[in-house]
Amino acid sequence: MSLRYQIILRVLLASVCMLVLGGAMAIWQARQAVEKEVESSIRLALQLITLGLADAQQPIADLSRFAALRQTRHLSIQLQKSDGQLTHFTRQQAPEFTENMPPAWFVRWVKGDYPELRREVTTLDGEVLTMIIKAQPLDEITEVWQESVNFFMSISSLTVLTFVAVNLVMNKSLRAIDVIVEALRVIETGQYKQQLPVFDAEEFDGIARAINHMTQELEKARQENRALTQHTLAIQEEERQRLSQELHDEFGQSLTAIKVMAATAAKQNTDTVKISAAISEVCDHLVEVLRSMMQQLHPLVLTELGLKATLEDMVEHWSERNPHLDLRISCDDAVDELDKNLTRQIFRVIQECLTNVVRHAQAHSVAIELSLLHPECKELQLTVEDDGRGCDLQSISRGFGLRGMKERIKSMEGEFMLRSAPGAGMTVTARIPLA
């Protein structure tokens, strides 16, 4: 069921409950009002009769002194002679408009059980008459019915106005929702430049601002990823070109030299011992070049000895090339049991950190700490801290090195954090869940 019909249904149910409750209250109040009015009329009639009889010092010659009773509402006053004959003293008038008569069920619910009062009156000639007072609340019930009808018409009009107001608000809200949904469908296709307009409603405008901020961040992340991808492809192409050049320069020349020396050794009267030593020397050089190239592509010690030994070997290698830099490493033995892909990524992150320190930080010391957090070892934490010149993080937001490290950590569902300030060094922290 749509939101519109859910709200309309709830408004309808609330209106029906209001009508039922209002009707019950109206009938109860009408019954109370009729009872009070009838009781008031009876008390008034009794007071008039009592006053009329109290003033009489002798039997009543006529009933003219009770003429005021003819104007008493809601009552039927009769005189009963000793032989049982009834004479109407007052007459209950019928309602003015027959069409305004209340329905029978309303009369039955509102009308109560009213007592019949009798009072004896003695005439001058000694005849005893009985005055009978009965309640006739039909005209009062008619008035209450008209008031109830007006009340229900007001409630019905208010309900209709409520439905109209709810529909107007719902139409406006649903149009805003349609705009938001349509924008989200466009964003789903990758068009992150889509922006939502400003809405009058504060709630929808807050949603629009949040979505616009999200699309801006997505567009920014896409541009950064695109630049990182292009940079990675460029580095890959440069690496291939460098390897190709190194293979050509080192292997090509060395193999050509070996071929020439082998051809020379095939001739008679040649110094084969000298030629063999030269060939062996060239082969040793090729082995060193091959090991260097393999180390650059992938450190074999990482596969053979594990992450801890590889990091210690890398730190030693960097310390030899940078004697002014104090490199310290603290690594748990348990890191050697981690997943191979995870160890490769951690190795590359630490390698990139050391490259940045040597190139930009002008630091004197670097501390590397790799540890497993919590007794259950559910998280791996890496911290690389230097005492270099630091920097403003906003000014290096476009650096590919830091961006590459961040993407490596994020690819493992980890959290990457930087802390730095000019003159205060830099701290790189990464936390990677292991579960």
Domain contains 248: no
Q: Which residues pair with 334 in a beta bridge?
A: none
Q: Please report the pLDDT score of residue 385 as a whole number.
A: 92
- Does the structure show a pLDDT above 50 at 303? yes
- Does the structure show a pLDDT above 90 at 291? no
The CATH number assigned to the domain holding 321 equals 3.30.565.10
Across 175-180, average pLDDT: 87
- Contact partners, residue 101, CB within 8 Å, separation at least 6: 95, 142
d(CA 123, CA 421): 119
Handedness of CA 187, 192, 193, 197 (dihedral sign): positive
Q: Please report the pLDDT score of residue 80 as a whole number.
A: 73
Domain contains 359: yes
Sequence letter at residue 251? F
Residues 11, 150 within the same domain: yes
Across 44-65, average pLDDT: 55
Sequence letter at residue 252? G
Given 106, 136, 168, the domain boundary residue is: 168
Using one digit for the tens of pLDDT, what is the confidence trace for 304-339?
778 888 888 888 888 888 888 899 999 888 888 888
Candidates 227, 226, 229, 192; CA nearest to 212 is: 192
Domain contains 294: no
Lookup: tokens for 95 = 């309602």
Across 293-297, average pLDDT: 72
Domain contains 39: yes
d(CA 303, CA 310): 9
Domain contains 273: no
Q: Please report the pLDDT score of residue 5 as a whole number.
A: 77
- Does the structure show a pLDDT above 70 at 376? no
Handedness of CA 325, 330, 333, 335 (dihedral sign): negative
d(CA 266, CA 260): 10
The total number of structural domains in the chain stands at 2
Beta strands in 244-354 (DSSP E): 326-331
Distances (CA, A) of 12 to 9, 159, 171, 338: 5, 8, 18, 63
Q: Please report the pLDDT score of residue 90 as a whole number.
A: 55
Q: Encode burial over 273-289: b for 16+ CB neighbours within 10 A, e otherwise.
A: eebeebbeebeeeeeeb
- Does the structure show a pLDDT above 80 at 394? no
Given 168, 193, 223, the domain boundary residue is: 168
- Does the structure show a pLDDT above 70 at 347? yes
For residues 73 and 129, is the Cβ–Cβ distance under 8 A? Answer: no
Q: Please report the pLDDT score of residue 397 as a whole number.
A: 56
Average pLDDT, the chain: 78
Q: Please report the pLDDT score of residue 94 as a whole number.
A: 47
Find the range with the poorest average confidence among 99-103, 258-262, 328-332, 341-345: 99-103
Task: Specify whether the backbone of 189 is left (phi greater than 0), alpha (psi in -120 to 50) or beta.
Answer: alpha
Q: Please report the pLDDT score of residue 383 as a whole number.
A: 93
Domain contains 134: yes
Using one digit for the tens of pLDDT, what is the confidence trace for 130-146?
777 777 777 777 877 88
**pLDDT higher at 203 or 86:** 203
d(CA 378, CA 268): 71
- Contact partners, residue 327, CB within 8 Å, separation at least 6: 315, 318, 319, 354, 365, 366, 368
Across 218-238, average pLDDT: 78
Q: Please report the pLDDT score of residue 368 as a whole number.
A: 93
Domain contains 66: yes
pLDDT category at 370 given cuts 50, 70, 90 is very high
Distances (CA, A) of 263 to 252, 257, 258, 260: 17, 10, 9, 5
Using one digit for the tens of pLDDT, what is the confidence trace for 57-97?
444 445 555 555 555 556 667 777 777 676 655 544 444 44
Sole residue written with tokens 């292991």: 434
- Contact partners, residue 369, CB within 8 Å, separation at least 6: 329, 330, 331, 381, 382, 383, 384
Query: Phi, psi at residue 415, to the nearest 5°?
Result: -120, 125
Q: Please report the pLDDT score of residue 61 as a whole number.
A: 45
Given 111, 136, 168, the domain boundary residue is: 168
User: Rounded to the nearest 10 degrees, how much is the dihedral formed by the CA atoms of 54, 56, 60, 61?
Assistant: -150
Q: Please report the pLDDT score of residue 375 as a whole number.
A: 54
Give the range of the structural domain holding residue 403, as residue numbers without chain letter: 299-433
- Does the structure show a pLDDT above 60 at 6? yes
Domain contains 204: no
* Percentage of the chain exceeding pLDDT 70: 82
Residues 161, 306 within the same domain: no
Across 218-243, average pLDDT: 78
